[in-house]
Amino acid sequence: MRLALFQPDIPQNLGAAIRLTACLGVALDVIEPCGFPLSDAAIRRAAMDYGALAEVTRHAGWRDFAALERPGRLVLFTTRAAERLPDFRFRRDDVLLFGRESAGVPDGVHAAADARVVIPLAAGARSLNVVTAAAIALGEALRQTNGFPTPAPPG
C-alpha cells in the first residue's frame, strides 16, 4: 500500500505525512510541484528522526507519476466521490491519493483514478486536514487488508 500527495501546499503537512507513513510502514509518493520549495534535504528535515523509516519518492509532476506501472488501483479521496469510506473494499496494493489542501485535484487526475472515495463528515463540515484524512483512510485500508506493521517486542 502507498500514500500519494498531489502537489501539497503546506510543508508541515508533508512532514506529518512522512511521519505517518514511516510509523505505519507505508511508502509515500509526493507529486510535485509543491506549494513550497522541496528538495531531498527539505524532506530529510521534515522527516526529522523518522527519515530512516520513511520511504519517500518524489515525482516531477502528475505525468511522471501517472506513467508508472503499478499493480494496484489508484484510489482518490475526494469530496466529489459517491462511494463512502465505510463501504469501500481496499486491496493490499492500492495507492491512496490525496489532493492539494487548497484545491484538491484537477479533473484529469480525478478521471484517472480507478476509484473515488469520500470520508463522510457531519453536516456543515467542509473537509478534514489532508493528513488527518490520510490517517483515517490508511487506518481503514490497513485494517481491512491486515496490513498494520507488527510491532517489535518490548524491551
Sketch the domain layout of the chain as residue ranges: 2-144
**pLDDT in the model for residue 70:** 86
**pLDDT in the model for residue 134:** 98
**pLDDT in the model for residue 152:** 77
Q: If you search the block for the grid coordinates 509518493, which residue do you land on?
A: 29
* Nearest Cα residue to 31 out of 9, 15, 53, 47: 9
**Rounded mean pLDDT, 10-37:** 93
Sheet of 95-98, strands arranged across: 56-59, 27-31, 2-6, 95-98, 74-77, 115-118, 83-84
53's grid cell? 523509516
**Rounded mean pLDDT, 23-44:** 88
List the beta bridge partners of residue 29: 4, 57
**pLDDT in the model for residue 18:** 94
Residue 13 has pLDDT above 90, yes or no: yes
Q: Residues of the chain with pLDDT > 90: what percent?
A: 79
**Rounded mean pLDDT, 46-51:** 74
Residue 46 has pLDDT above 80, yes or no: no
14's grid cell? 508533508
**Rounded mean pLDDT, 14-35:** 95
CA angle 132, 81, 12 (to 5 degrees): 25
User: 3-state SS of 58-113?
Assistant: EECCHHHHHCCCCCCCEEEECCCCCEEHHHCCCCCCCEEEECECCCECCHHHHHHC
- Give the predicted TM-score (pTM) of the model: 0.93
User: How far apart, in whole angstroms, are the C-alpha atoms of residue 134 and residue 54?
Assistant: 16
Out of 46-50, 58-62, 63-67, pick the least confident: 46-50
Quick one: pLDDT band at residue 17, thresholds 50, 70, 90? very high
pLDDT in tens, 84-142: 999 999 999 999 999 999 999 999 999 999 999 999 999 999 899 999 999 999 999 99
Q: Superfamily assignment of 2-144 in CATH? A: SPOUT methyltransferase, trefoil knot domain (3.40.1280.10)
User: How far apart, in whole angstroms, are the C-alpha atoms of residue 79 and residue 145?
Assistant: 24
